[in-house]
Every structure is written in C-alpha cells, then in structure tokens.
Structure 1
Amino acid sequence: MRKLMVIAAAALALAGCGSDVEEAHKAVAAQLQNPAAARFTTPRTLAHGNVCGQVREKGGNGQYGPYRSFAAIKAEDGYHAIIDTDGNNPAVRTICGAPEAQSVAVDNGNGWEVRIAPNAMGALTDMTARLVEHGFMANVASRDGKTEVYLGPFPTQAEAEQKKAELMASQGIEADVVPHPAGG
C-alpha cells in the first residue's frame, strides 16, 4: 500500500509538469489577443531547452490570421516568448536559426526561387505532398550534395518574396529566397 501511495504521489507531481513544448506554447499564447484559439505548428526544441515554431490566432473577425514564427527562451522562471510579427525579427531568426534571405541588388538573370528551410522539411515526400495539396508547385533538386525542395523559379525577387510570404501565412513553413542557379 505504501508503494502504491508513493507511485500515485509521483504520478500526480509529474502530471502537473508540462513538456518544454507545452510550456513554451503557454508563454506564446499569453502574448496573443485570443490565446484559446492559438494554433501551433512545427515546434522544435533547441539547445538549452529553447523552443521555436509558428503560431496563428483568430482575429476579431473570427478568421485565423497568418502563421508567425516565435522563439520561446527557457529561463529559471519559465519561458519568455518573442513573436515575429512581420517575419523580420532578428532575435527570432538568431535563436531559431531561420535562414536569412539572400538579397542581391540586381536581378541575376536566372530568376529566383523559394527554398524550404531544412529544419521545416521533415520527410521529403510528406513535404512535397503537403505543398502540392495546398496549391504550391514544389520542385525537388539535389544541389551541393543536398536534396532540397524549391518553389519557382520566379522572374523577379519580389515575386519570390511574395510566394515565401504566402507559404508562411498559409502553411507556417519557413523558407528563404535564393537566386536560381544558371542551368538549374
């Protein structure tokens, strides 16, 4: 009986403790206007227990807004969340290791493409199927010994940036814009 009580007490103590991802999601949700309607995707636990991912919430009109990246930094007193409201927050990009968009002042003549971030990929077939299912025409290419998923090419960097924004807003998938290689 005594062993049963000790096991029951341990189980109750553990039940009150959420996982790192759950605790990070609570910290992010606390910063939202409608935390009960928060939807999270692609959570990743990093070194030191930091958590990165994407979140979206319902607005006052009852519709879900676009996905936004977040970083939840683990501290002694819990998680401190940073939500990237415009896709350009350097703190979130640094903590989460999101790819930096390459910018070139003039068009390279070969066009531009949207490269899916390696940390967002998961299984190659699952990613390409998800993209196609949601209207994004994906290409798979092997470059520099790595198999990667791309959208495009697009004639201008602005068009590629627009497609990247659509991808994040509708699917919560991180990506970067890169020059399309000559002959690629």
Structure 2
Amino acid sequence: MCKMVLVIAVLALAGCGEGKGVDAQRPKPAIVSTSASAAATTGPQWDLEVRGETTQAVSDLSGWLIEHSFISNVVMENGKSRILMGPFNTKAEAEAKQAEVDAALVRAKKQNIQLLVLEHPAAR
C-alpha cells in the first residue's frame, strides 16, 4: 500500500510541470513601432481644447471630464495650463467630440466653458 501511494505521488508530481516549457518556447508577436515621420505623412491632426472662465477651473474641468469618461491631458505651455483632448486624425472627428462634450456640458448645466478645435502641433 505504501509503495502504491508513493507511485501515485511521483506520477502526480511529474505531471505538475507539464506544459510550462511549451509556453516559454512560443514566439512572441513583434511590436510594430510607428515613427514621427510616418505620422507626419498622414496629414495634420487635431486637438480639442477645453477652456474654463478662470485658471482655477483647470483641475475642476479635468476632474469633470474624467468623471464623464472623456480622456484629456493637462499640458503646460508658456506657464499656463491647458486641457486638451485628442489628437484626432481628422477635423470632423474633433468636431464630433466637440459636439459630444458640449452636449454633456449642457446636460450638467456647466456654463462659461469654451471648446475649441485646434490643429495639433507637429512636435510637443
């Protein structure tokens, strides 16, 4: 009986590591990197800038955008904070997002907030 338990234990332990070597040998997919020159050849890109009435509104606006599932970036330019959404590949995409955010602002009764579609600078 003791030999039988020992044989079962050895067989069970022998099967524990099975299949681990197969995953390690599997080739990993190649990562395709895009260069800045490839992005430049596709044409201009567009950003949507969200402006509040006061400078203190930057944190309030960015927090509100996050709460409403709008992805934005706060960028410092010339000592001023700007809230940008994008970049978008076409001006039409940026304008569609502008209408979507504007509708959400109206529903939330947010006033004195401007949404501007701007051309995305080549290097930031």
TM-score by length of 2: 0.55
- Give 1 or 2: higher strand fraction: 1
Instruction: Quote the RMSD (CA, aligned, Å).
Output: 2.1
Deviation string for 1:145-165 (max 9, x for gaps)? 321001111000010011111
Per-residue deviation at 1:121?
6.3
Q: 1:181: which partner in 2?
A: 121
Q: Unaligned stretches of 5+ in structure 2?
A: 1-41, 107-112
TM-score by length of 1: 0.38
Per-residue deviation at 1:144?
3.2
Find the aligned partners of 1:120 and 1:170 in 2 and give their Cα distance.
Answer: 20
- Give 1 or 2: higher helix fraction: 2
Find the aligned partners of 1:121 and 1:161 in 2 and give their Cα distance.
Answer: 24
Aligned ranges 1:59-78 → 2 under 5 Å: none
Equivalent pairs: percent with the same residue?
38
Per-residue deviation at 1:110?
3.8
SS in structure 1 opposite 2:74? Answer: strand
Query: Does residue 96 of structure 2 align to residue 156 of structure 1?
Result: no
Find the aligned partners of 2:72 and 2:52 in 1 and give their Cα distance.
Answer: 14
Find the aligned partners of 2:62 and 2:49 in 1 and give their Cα distance.
Answer: 12
SS in structure 1 opposite 2:53? Answer: helix
The 1:110–1:165 alpha-carbon spacing in structure 2 relative to 1, beyond 3 Å, is same
Q: Unaligned stretches of 5+ in structure 1?
A: 1-107
> Are the aligned partners of 2:52 and 2:61 in contact in 1 as well (CA < 8 Å)?
no
> Are the aligned partners of 1:118 and 1:148 in contact in 2 as well (CA < 8 Å)?
no
> Are the aligned partners of 2:52 and 2:58 in contact in 1 as well (CA < 8 Å)?
no
AA aligned opposite 2:123: G
AA aligned opposite 1:180: H
Higher normalized contact order (CA 8 Å, seq sep 6+, divided by chain length): 2
> Are the aligned partners of 1:153 and 1:180 in contact in 2 as well (CA < 8 Å)?
yes
AA aligned opposite 1:168: D
